[in-house]
Chains A and B, each alone.
Chain A
Amino acid sequence: MKQEYNFSRRFFLKTSSALGALAFIPKGVKAFYEEVKNFIVPKKEQLPLTISINKKSYAIKADTRTTLLDLLREDLNLTGAKKGCDHGQCGACTVHIDGERVLSCLTLAATVPGKEVTTIEGLANGDQLHPMQQAFIECDGFQCGYCTPGQIMSAVACVKEGHTKSVAEIKEFMSGNLCRCGAYNGIVESIQKVAAQ
């Protein structure tokens, strides 16, 4: 927790002093951007973090710029959460943080200590698939499968949130998860199936 505080303060001080300095230096637009870039883009800094993922504690060192998504995929070999845009526009990276659906590409790894992260790898109970995973298989709720982990994590949350009263409501609350194969028929059917259980 202390590390997190230091990181935030340092970043904030650098950024605000940069912006303050820039107000007095009229070096032209190009120079302006160079200054901003030099101060705002965080330099490489490693932070020791203790993160709980799928009820397992990981003590790691992570780059302060690392998103939760890249931490999972590049450092922890948990590649179930997918990178489909890296900008919070597609939902393929959806994981649960403290039980709520969150876009891991918009979440810095440094912000998750103290919280419980659940990824698609942690959804099944050992060999027993989660009912939503089972439903996606039975209803063929995917084609290429790339958006599927994000769809399933959202679908589990969608049921939990109670947004399953009609096809239209399911569709609305699942519209943050894009599927280019267009497997929406099966996705809706899977959610209806689980909601009815």
Chain B
Amino acid sequence: MGFFDEPYDLPTAADGRVEGVAKVTGGGKYAAEYKVDGLCHAVLVGSTIAAGKIKSFNLDNAKQVAGVLGIITHLEKPLVPGLADEAKIKEARLGLAVFHTDKIFFKGQPIALVIADTLEDATYAASLVTAEYEKEPAKLDFELALKNIQLTPAGKDRGNIEALNSAPHSVEAEYNIKAEVHNPMEMHATIAEWKADDKLKLFDKNQGVNNVQRTFAKLFNIPVDNIEVISEFVGGGFGSGLRVWPHALACIMAAKLVKRPVKLMLTRPQMFHSVGYRPAAWQKIKLGANADGKFVGIHHQAKNGTSVYENFNEGITRVTRLIYHFNNLKAEAATVPLNLSTPTWMRGPGDCTGDFAIESAIDELSYKLKMDPVALRMKNLALEKHPDNGLPWSTNYINECIEKGAQMINWKDRKATHSQTIEGDWSIGYGMAVGAWNAGRGTASAGIQMQKDGTITVQTAMTDIGTGTGISMQNIAHESTGISKSKIKIELGNSNLPPAPSQGGSNGLSSIGGAVVAAVSALKLKIAEYATMQNEAFKNAAAADILLSDTGVSFKTTNNHFISYTSLWEKNNLNILEVEASSGPGAERQKFAFCSSAAHFCKVRVNRKTGKVKIERLVTVSDGGKIISEKAAANQMSGAAVGGIGMALMEEQLTDERLGTLVGNDFAGYHFPVNADAPIIEVAFINKPDPNINPQGSKGLGEVGIIGTAAAIANAIYNATGKRLRDLPITPDKVLLA
């Protein structure tokens, strides 16, 4: 059947992202989509209880299914050297050492893996695997469990929190947020192929190929370079791909067992307990201000859910220390162990949760003070230096974000008291909130390969999870070389390429941008070195003085010394010119503090009869330093705002303690915004480069787009209705009952 092998020809370039054509034609290959000879399929079997021990398995029925190649359990499995004994398991710090324990920590925990020739056979056989358990009581109710957990200090106190007791105006309230699940559209998947006993090839969905590579090199006791990880197209992450999860190890073990390449794709219900989630959170805030609106201080307490086998502290109070002057500050936190899988970072981790409480409390305080919430924030912003470490901000334009956002939404139309604008059954209101994020940067490497015709290929191991890493690298390479974009190709998401950090925490572009600039400098110097043979003027030339064009090299200031690539290549007998360079943070980190920030403004309609909240307008203005790719950046911000709508109005992972189970673990039960749930999001940028963070001056955007969105919506609902809703998501029942 010849058609299996037909190569799929992609139509040629169009105006947009470097991978645009591949994405709109279905030609781009995501982890589970590679054609591998001899491939078979694996399906995980999950525990049916939430706590206890496995007593025995019944695998007989599954084994009888035609096409079944093998079944892995903790009793029968291939050796994983890095998990060979209890001490090694502990040292591996995997969280859940899949198939290496008889203990059950949560419902759905993988207890067996069925491998078969086809997906249908594996799925059917997996449905026949059963186990006997020794059941133990399970805790899944966060709100019940948190009551017995003691808080401990989270960071240093500032001043004395007793000052709050004499503040003339104050707000004290509790905030509850249900767990949210990342649910990228592509379900996590791995294809594992052992090329030799000590050589492994993985097609895997993740946000950092080098992290995956290192993890498995250690577990299987083989050199890092013997593991190839390919993640060229990643169907979203939002944090779920920052860890190496049990299913990937399970797939590799399966490939070892059956001595064939194995594909494992999680099902959507499995996605809810296999790759982390944003944990449920409880918070209490006490916030005080003087009569003039100057904040006296804040007491922020927070607890978040975690699993019984790992302690995940989200860092909810981190953002409390970032945005405003609080001369008196006390932060406390705790984690609450539950019989659920371990949570992980999800877009705007910690800050997103903490910011909702702070920004809701500030809004509430503004009504007590009879002060505009915009003016109240402006009065208290810490614009000069990081309030915690005292370092001056390299740049911080959060005030400009607020001003621009207020203008865009016509903030002056907002009524100073609630419930003033009514249209039929609908109450209309405005709200706003801000968010900020410590802007980071990691050390990354990039490579460039240049051809005789002036075409360059810029390479990195970093993934592009949809943020626009590829087009941004192209833009930076174009900007710093002078070569046309059509002659700049991008290769990424492959561990054979120059190493880069994982793509998370808004660090992706901030890290790789510098590496591209460094690689371009290396390329210029190398070309100058060869050019010196033809023209002495190039001797010891500085990279900054050299200009590359589509056809040749010259000096920036004068064209007199132009040498074509063709002659350069011929004179030096060159084939492909290759350079690689690394770049990372340096002394600037001791001199400055860095943050990205955003202001979110919202106009809502709330139906008084049904409790339905409709977002009429949502404006997001952010300071992410210099914007490298405007369309992709705007897409990031509007997408984050959509995520914020989900957090505010609909996303909640419910649990049932009695049954020990998640409730509604699919898209019928777990809602995130569909197209009609969001208005056209209005996005703007301050777009001023940060001169210190990295060569291109961009600070990262992914997180700030969602930090504050939920509070802006909740604050607008209050302005519309007078109902202060402190528990997320704000579903219609909560609106009606408030």
Residues of A within 8 A of B (CB): 37, 41, 44, 56, 58, 60, 63, 65-66, 70, 73-74, 76-87, 89-90, 92, 119-121, 123-124, 126-129, 133-134, 136-138, 140, 142-149, 152, 167-168, 170-172, 174-188
Contact = CB atoms under 8 A, between A and B. Distances in A.
A151 B15 CA distance: 19
Interface string B582-619: 00000000000000000000000000000000000000
B127 A74 contact: no
A182 B640 contact: yes
Most buried by B among A41, A79, A120: A79
B468 A143 contact: yes
B465 interface: yes
Nearest to A149: B26
B639 A182 contact: yes
B642 A184 contact: yes
Interface of B: 1, 3-4, 8-9, 11-12, 14-17, 19-30, 32-33, 35, 41, 65-67, 118-121, 124, 127, 182-187, 233-238, 265, 267-268, 465-468, 631-632, 634-636, 638-643, 666-668, 672-678, 680-681
Contacts of A76: 3-4
Q: Across chains A and B, which 7 residue pairs bring their CB atoms closest together, nearest first?
A: A80-B26, A182-B642, A146-B235, A144-B466, A143-B466, A145-B23, A182-B639
Contacts, number: 212
A41 B127 contact: yes
A119 B26 contact: yes
A84 B271 CA distance: 11
9 contacts: A63-B118, A70-B120, A79-B32, A84-B187, A129-B25, A137-B17, A180-B184, A182-B642, A184-B638
Contacts of B643: 182
Contacts of B3: 56, 58, 76
Contact of B667 (A85, A146, A152, A167): A85
B185 A92 contact: yes
SS class of chain A's interface: helix, strand, loop or mixed?
loop
Contact of A148 (B11, B24, B465): B24
B24 A136 contact: yes
Nearest to A152: B24
A74 B263 CA distance: 11
Contacts of B668: 87, 89
A44 B121 contact: yes
B183 A180 contact: yes
Contacts of B4: 76-77
Nearest to A133: B24
Contacts of B67: 44
B16 A180 contact: no
Contacts of B8: 121
B33 to A, nearest CB: 4
A185 B267 contact: no
B120 A66 contact: yes
A137 B118 contact: no
B33 A180 contact: no
B611 to A, nearest CB: 20
A44 to B, nearest CB: 6
A89 B415 CA distance: 40
Nearest to A147: B185
A182 B23 contact: no
Contact of A129 (B24, B119, B666, B676): B24
B11 A124 contact: yes
A184 B120 contact: no
B675 A174 contact: yes
Given A82-B30, A185-B638, A188-B680, 5 more contacts: A129-B25, A136-B20, A138-B15, A174-B676, A181-B639
A138 B21 contact: no
Most buried by A among B66, B67, B182, B236: B236
